[in-house]
Structure 1
């Protein structure tokens, strides 16, 4: 396991520890920073963004953390699309 991830794991006390900030969960781990350059609108675009984040998680060793689940990525993508639909309906 990556030393940074192992140190983080030792400091873990609750799920909020993994958030970027108290109000921003991010990709489910403070060490994942894949930017969202364009909001995904199709399943293909969502899959492509999922792959980018998952690849970053694998490369950084985040997938080895017992507190991390790749389902966090799906949750973010789902919430992005729900927020986008809400904003479009308001216009």
Structure 2
């Protein structure tokens, strides 16, 4: 998988699994990614966590998570999940 398009593939995979995000949701995800200057893998963690805890796409929840993990000091997925756990979200990953 090309890392430059990992987010697009991830969102497409969600669609195939029944998570029907609207065009507006998709645009907001990319807006959030660009406005926080987050990498694709951090954006995917934020989407994944939003769907896990909200059971739907909640733009404000998504952006709050993304802002927490978009920091340059977070270099690994483990660190990102640790930050979320400190904020009260479980570190158990969903796939």
Q: TM range, normalised to the smaller chain? A: under 0.3
Structure with more of its chain in helix, by fraction: 2
TM-score by length of 1: 0.28
In terms of Rg, which structure is larger?
1
Structure possessing the higher relative contact order (Cα contacts under 8 Å, 6 or more residues apart):
1
